[in-house]
Structure 1
Amino acid sequence: MKNPNSFENQNRAQNREIIVLAHNIRSTHNIGAIIRTSEGFGVSKIIFSGYSPFPILKDENFQKTGRLPHIAQKINSQIHKTALGAEKIIPSEISKDILKTIQDLKNQGFEIFALEQSKKSIFLKDFMAHKNAKIALLLGEEVEGVSKELLDLCDKTIEIPMFGQKESFNVSVATGIALYKIACE
């Protein structure tokens, strides 16, 4: 369904630069949903790292990325099932060293927020970013989440409270919930 106010909403989201860091997410379907959701909330770029699958990049050099073209096509097809073309719209890149990428983003003025449950996390409803803050939202793998090593590099850790019996939301669902809060502030 097309949102008649999408231009207005897009301008609101563009007051803040948001990057998503997708680290060690194994499911192509989760990656596709994260891409589509990120595009919908005006995320400026997605950075894939670790063993996260990623769509075929514009002008991808398969030797440089280490992927065989037929494998990349298969992965791209699986991602497309949930991204529905958003993978062709939102810029993306690959990080071979997530620690360096996080440090580089900090040097560029980004605040790094992990989406994870931890002893130091704050609930999403209590989260407030500075008005024009540049934000990088770090997502971790589906089962183990964001590692302690990466959490220690983050400025804050954001947690979405659970009211049912399960311990956590699916990573793509949690991404959507968090991006809604961040983009609409």
Structure 2
Amino acid sequence: MSSTKKLKLEELGRIDVETFKETKKTPLVVVLDNVRSMHNVGAIFRTADAFLIEKIVLCGITPQPPHREIQKAALGATESVDWVYEKNITEALQNLKTETFKIIGIEQTSNSEIITNYTIDKTQKYALVLGNEVDGLSEEALPYYDTFLEIPQLGTKHSLNVSVCGGIVMWEFFKNLS
């Protein structure tokens, strides 16, 4: 019989919110472009906390904390991860470009690249933009992107849930930038 045991919460050695705020962040911003589900927003906050993401930018109809439905999935991550609201996606992307972020749209386009083939530069800051659950990225903002990445999918479905997609993409960038 194995001597493996599950760790209790107090054995995980997690940092508190104040320590999180002072910890060096992954040079990564996640932008939510009209993501409508509060559960998806909360899940993205929780994943952003796990990977020390610099900030989340909520755009358009994306719901903002505090809200009970966001909190259900975020489990307090709305307190640790910095976030801002920008009504207009194109203004949000322009601001990030001014701050020298490379703008990466997570979308299936005519010229998107498979994420595992994309070279992530450790000296670069990135903004990953996730779109609406049905319509994807806003059409009017397409000219502002430096590149588009997609996650390879081999089954019958044409897309992943936006929070699952966000988790995969954040992990891919985190492991290459940290």
**Structure 2 gaps, min length 5:** 1-6
Counterparts of 2:24 and 2:120 in 1: how far apart (Å)?
A: 14
Question: Which residue number corresponds to residue 175 of structure 2?
Answer: 184
Counterparts of 2:26 and 2:38 in 1: how far apart (Å)?
A: 28
More displaced stretch, 82-91 vs 96-105: 96-105
- State whether structure 2 residue 174 is matched by structure 1 residue 164: no
- CA gap of 1:15–1:53, structure 2 versus 1, over 3 A, is closer
Q: Tell me which of the two structures has the higher relative contact order, counting C-alpha pairs closer than 8 angstroms and 6 or more residues apart.
A: 1
8 Å contact 2:106–2:130 — kept in the other structure?
yes
Residue identity (%): 36
Counterparts of 1:14 and 1:129 in 2: how far apart (Å)?
A: 19
> How many residue pairs end up in the alignment?
162
Question: Which residue number corresponds to residue 31 of structure 2?
Answer: 21
Question: Which residue number corresponds to residue 105 of structure 1?
Answer: 96
Q: Name the amino acid aligned to 2:175.
A: C
| SS of equivalent to 1:169 | coil
Counterparts of 2:175 and 2:13 in 1: how far apart (Å)?
A: 13
Question: Which residue number corresponds to residue 4 of structure 2?
Answer: none
Counterparts of 1:101 and 1:81 in 2: how far apart (Å)?
A: 27
Distance apart, 1:151 and its partner CA: 2.3
- CA gap of 1:174–1:100, structure 2 versus 1, over 3 A, is same
CA deviation vs aligned residue, 1:154-183 (integer Å, no higher than 9, x gap): 001010011110000000000000011101
| SS of equivalent to 1:17 | strand
Counterparts of 2:64 and 2:162 in 1: how far apart (Å)?
A: 16
Distance apart, 1:107 and its partner CA: 1.1
Normalising to structure 1: TM-score of the pair?
Answer: 0.81
| SS of equivalent to 2:53 | coil
8 Å contact 1:151–1:157 — kept in the other structure?
no
Question: Which residue number corresponds to residue 114 of structure 2?
Answer: 123
Counterparts of 2:134 and 2:13 in 1: how far apart (Å)?
A: 37
**Structure 1 gaps, min length 5:** 57-75
- CA gap of 1:5–1:180, structure 2 versus 1, over 3 A, is farther
CA deviation vs aligned residue, 1:39-58 (integer Å, no higher than 9, x gap): 111111111010000113xx
Which 4+ stretches in 1 moved above 2 angstroms? 1-7, 13-16
Normalising to structure 2: TM-score of the pair?
Answer: 0.84
Distance apart, 1:19 and its partner CA: 0.6
